[in-house]
Amino acid sequence: MVICYIYPDMAAVNSSRILVSGVSGPIGEALLPSLKARGYTITRLVRDQPAGDGQVFWNPAQPLSPQSVSGFEAVIHLAGETIVGRWTKAKKARIRDSRVLGTRHLAEALAKATQPPRVLISASAIGYYGDRGEEILQEDSRSGTDFLSEVCREWEAASQPAVDAGIRTVQTRFGLALSPTGGALQKMLLPFRMGLGGKIGSGRQWWSWIDVKDLVGAIHHVLRSDLLRGPVNLVAPKPVRNDEFSKILATVLSRPSIFPMPAFAARLALGQMADELLLASQQVEPAKLIATGYSFQHADLKPALEAILQ
């Protein structure tokens, strides 16, 4: 299912060309229809060869031809190996390399293009901050020390060639994206609909979330806001603790929330991923979005989940 999110200023049609990678994920699936509705011409970076019309072939592990990425108004880079799954040594290498090498090769090609883009929006994640307990985190907060933090630091640094070439470059640090078509929420729905959902571990850890409609809206905001550079937190302004998230989700589904998952069970099932994703506490603020005037459609979790799941 493809959902197109319409925004109040949709009449401001832009005929510019945009290059997008990672279009098959839930974020890309939500973003592309909204770009097309605004009049953008979309070209996709794809790994299938030969590439068809409106596509450019690339291998993230290899350099890109500057000519193949020249002439675009903007580039939105979302590609990367999924972090879902047990983090074996090989899996961690794919997670890191797909992000760091892919971003570096793309940024280097854009920097050398005869017609470089006005802006590069390169995905990152709030995993940058690591497990931070009760600390309130903004874009200038220090990075963490775990695996995801290291990946995010290298991922963001890999876009430096574009910065050096004078391209306005933004690293969008995504929070927990709530989408009806994929991602973490979709995986949570089955146990909660069966009445088997509940908090994870102590439930005290902060979860910083964002409705996919706001995620798409925030990307459009970044596209047109020349003041935004560097890291930008893409999260709702009201994070919740995991226990509260579980109770609200269960309430929206008219189910109980009485089956907690102990921390040891999460670690047994998912290993290191459990510690860095499910059990980590990240109370993140969208400071730059708020400072530049972005207006959230869903700042509160309950109405966001009701809109997604109705």
Tell me the percentage of the chain whose pLDDT exceeds 90: 85
Domain that holds residue 106: 17-309
Tens-digit pLDDT profile for residues 244-281: 999 999 999 999 999 999 999 999 989 999 999 999 99
pLDDT score recorded for residue 26: 84
Give the burial class of 304: count Cβ atoms within 10 A of its Cβ; 0-12 exposed, 13-18 middle, 19 or more buried.
buried
Burial of 293 (0-12, 13-18, 19+ CB in 10 A): exposed
In a domain, 221, yes or no: yes
CATH of the domain at 177: 3.40.50.720
For residue 6, pLDDT beyond 70? no
pLDDT attached to residue 8 = 42
Query: What pLDDT digit, counting tens, does each position of 20-39 carry?
Result: 999 888 899 899 999 999 99
pTM over 0.85? The answer is yes
Average pLDDT, stretch 143-162? 98
Percent of the chain with pLDDT over 70: 95
**12 belongs to a structural domain:** no
- At residue 183, the pLDDT reads 80
Handedness of CA 7, 106, 151, 154 (dihedral sign): negative
- pLDDT exceeds cutoff 90 at 238: yes
Q: Which of 41-45, 49-53, 166-170, 230-234 has the lowest mean pLDDT?
A: 49-53
Whether 5 maps to a domain, the answer reads: no
Does 148 reside within a domain? yes
Q: What is the rounded average pLDDT of the residues 182-197?
A: 89
**Within a domain: residue 143?**
yes
Report the number of distinct structural domains present in the chain.
1
Task: Render pLDDT for 84-98 as a digit per residue (tens, 0 to 9).
Answer: 889 999 999 999 999
pLDDT at 41 over 90: yes
H-helix or E-strand containing 30? helix 26-37
Q: Does 186 fall in a domain? A: yes
Question: Rounded to whole angstroms, how far apart are CA atoms 76 and 23?
Answer: 10
Query: Mean of the pLDDT values across residues 149-176?
Result: 98
212, with CB counted inside 10 A (0-12, 13-18, 19+), is: buried
Contact 167, 110 (CB under 8 A): yes
**What's the rounded Cα separation, in Å, for the pair 76 and 123?**
8
Domain contains 298: yes
